[in-house]
Amino acid sequence: MKTKKIILFASGSGSNVENIANYFKLRNDVTICCVLTNKSDAKVIDRCNRLGLNALYFNRQAFSKSDFILNMLRSLEPDLIVLAGFLWKIPEAITQSFPNKIINIHPALLPKYGGKGMYGMNVHNAVKEHNEQETGITIHYVNANYDEGAIIKQVNVELLPNDSPEDIAAKVHQLEYEYFPKVIDNLLSSL
């Protein structure tokens, strides 16, 4: 049986990266090739060092103004590219080279609260400001536009009137940790 290869992209602390790594760590049929980050001081690098994962920092030049990252991705031949808290828009050359192989998790029920600048606490603050009664996660394919790719799975959670944006974030993180690795696993199984 062929080992399925995942490449992860992250911009922040890497809690989803660690959760995904822990989910697959005892599996011989799935390997995380590397974790790519656009921030040289991202905490995800520390997590990768602790978890024994290869981490690579890249700048905007390597990502969107040259074919460096595209060529690296092609050479690694990933079965799935997972955006786990990655904040830059994926260049069209990459989305076209890996159709239906790049997925993202968004901390709201798209199409609500998506688009440029809508990430992390920006999303949770907007959900609170609009007095939403529910929010959740959306796992979707990545295309040329922010948060507009085909939806793979959505999971919602009820909100209480007195939930703060931090409470909302905690509820959403629980959904991310529970469902994101399972969706990745299901997608890999169907390849």
Two tokens, residue 170: 């905690």
Report the pLDDT averaged over residues 74-93. Answer: 95
Distance, CA of 81 to CA of 104 (rounded, Å): 9
Residue 112: its pLDDT value, please?
96
Residue 1: its pLDDT value, please?
73
Q: What are the residue numbers of the active site?
A: 106
- Name the band, by pLDDT with cuts 50, 70 and 90, for residue 31: very high
Predicted TM-score (pTM) of this structure: 0.95
- Name the band, by pLDDT with cuts 50, 70 and 90, for residue 144: confident
Distance, CA of 128 to CA of 64 (rounded, Å): 34
Element (H, E) at 172: helix 165-189
- Name the band, by pLDDT with cuts 50, 70 and 90, for residue 139: very high
- Name the band, by pLDDT with cuts 50, 70 and 90, for residue 8: very high
The DSSP bridge pattern shows strands 102-106 and 80-83 to be: parallel
Distance of CA 186 to the CA centre of its chain: 16
List strand residue ranges (DSSP E) for 113-181, in order. 134-141, 151-158
Distance, CA of 76 to CA of 101 (rounded, Å): 13
Distance, CA of 62 to CA of 74 (rounded, Å): 14
Check: CB of residue 38 under 8 Å from CB of residue 87: yes
Residue 65: its pLDDT value, please?
93
Two tokens, residue 131: 């007095």
Which pLDDT tens digit goes with each residue over 175-190?
Answer: 999 999 999 999 999 9
Report the pLDDT averaged over residues 149-172. Answer: 97
Which pLDDT tens digit goes with each residue over 42-73?
Answer: 999 999 999 999 999 999 999 999 999 999 99
- Name the band, by pLDDT with cuts 50, 70 and 90, for residue 115: very high
